[in-house]
Amino acid sequence: MRMSRTFALLLASGAWILAGCNSGSNMASNPPVSSPPPAATAALNVSMRDMPMMNGFDILAFRATVTGAVLQPGNIPVIASPMTIEMTQLQSMSAYLNTISVPAGNYTGMTITFANPQMTFLNGTGVGGMMSGGYCSAGQICQYAPATLTASQTISGAPFPLSVQAGTPLGLMMDFDLSGSFQGTTVWNMGFSPMMSSFLQQPFGSSGAFGQMFDQMNEVPGVVTSVDSASQQFTMQFVEGAPTLTIHVDDKTVYDGFDSIGKANSFSSLVPGQIVVVDLDLEGAGTLYAGEVELENNSGNELYGMLVGLDSAGGWCDFVVMNEAPDFSGVLIGDVVRASLQPGTNFDVNFQDMPMGGFNFGGYSDLMLGQMMQFAPLSGLTSGSGTPPQVNVNHLRLMSTWATGTISQTLSSTDFMFTPTSGIFPAAGIHSLHVSTSAQTRFDNVSGLGGLNVGDTVSLRGPMFTGTTNPMLMAGYILKR
């Protein structure tokens, strides 16, 4: 997949982007605007990202439902229906919310309302405590629903007041502050009160097939629901029951994996029911264009999760589920699931077009906590499996890991050492990562590696390997904080 691009969620729109209000997953969205807005209006593309939490309680997953978002004045709705978003992924990617057509004029702010916050965290404080779900021991992964203290926030600072010019598309990024959104001295008395800011996205220097590019979203999984050969487009569903997205392609779109089922790697092999992972560009007035479409499964389900537990005998792995395609019965985003590895389990990597530096992912010995994986349950939850719930799998695919931390040492013009703040790494005895960049690495808020210094805080995204001395992360994306 194109690792030079920003990875976004498509849960309702993206999660990789947003999710339906009645699902516990992280994906959904309204069909994008594919034609120019009326002359007296402009297209407003709205996305979201996140500043991670750093305080000893490592939040592995945090989901909340956006029940409303309106532009002021006029109470102009930004989303058509509630969306559930998994926030932690947004520290190194963006989540596309929607594209709307707004009248030209001046706008003073945006009000966003949340409900049903739920987090999965690693208790890294060294002490246990009581919470609504029971007792959480030190070092344990627990789930907690914090009380909602304030449901809404109105963003009225920069870039507001916002001047919208007729016929000129804009990109508005909402920056969710996960750390600032919690109040309380410990997780045991923590309450949720959303804190957000915003800024205008600058279009990329080059234009895409359908106009200026405002965002790029990689490794977005979903289910094909319809194919329109005449219009060179297809629709995808990102959570069961959620609205679909219309995806446009052209003769430059790359297709992978269809040869595994005896078909050509081409648009003609797309059929409803397939699970695919797509790399998307958000272009022009809300058109979503696929630069790459990769077949993951001809049917069934795919789960995406962070590796948080390993069996010393090599028989199973525990994951915090971050995404589902489609919605998997009995599992919600943030749940811990045990993957029981069946004899002959296949291990592979999703990044054939990235320089891997000789690193491999070919067996159980290549697993480490903090890696992101994709796996397909062979059936539903197995009966009598106890806690955590269990699924049988015979395939693990390495996906992009995300992490936030500080640069501790510069090694060369392409490589540096990185100290992650995520508690899952110290829990595994990992206190430093070797980060390698390439020509495919995309830098955000900084021109390149030369603009970064020791002590800078950055968020990273890319596949992570066990390494020789330190784990190695091949960075596809770096955001300077």
In total, the chain counts a number of residues equal to 481
pLDDT tens-digit map of 63-118 = 999 999 999 999 999 988 888 888 888 888 777 788 889 999 999 999 999 999 99
Q: Is the dihedral of CA 62, 335, 472, 420 positive or negative?
A: positive
Which pair of structure tokens corresponds to residue 32? 């994008």
Which pair of structure tokens corresponds to residue 196? 């957000």
pLDDT tens-digit map of 15-40 = 333 333 333 333 333 434 444 445 58
Q: What is the pLDDT confidence band of residue 342, given thresholds at 50, 70 and 90?
A: very high
- Selection from 214, 171, 196 nearest residue 6 by Cα: 214
**Cα 95 to Cα 87: distance, rounded to the nearest angstrom:** 9
**Cα 298 to Cα 87: distance, rounded to the nearest angstrom:** 29
pTM: 0.82
Is residue 60 within 8 A of residue 88, CB to CB? The reply is: yes
Mean pLDDT for the chain overall = 83
Cβ neighbours of residue 273 under 8 Å, at least 6 residues apart?
Answer: 223, 224, 298, 299
pLDDT tens-digit map of 105-156 = 999 999 999 999 998 988 877 778 777 667 888 888 888 888 899 999 999 9
- Selection from 121, 177, 122, 111 nearest residue 146 by Cα: 121
**Tokens 């091949």, located at residue:** 474
Q: What is the pLDDT confidence band of residue 41, given thresholds at 50, 70 and 90?
A: confident
**Cα 73 to Cα 135: distance, rounded to the nearest angstrom:** 46
Burial 416-432 (b: 16+ CB within 10 A, else e): bbbbbbbbbbbbbebeb
Is residue 213 within 8 A of residue 204, CB to CB? The reply is: yes
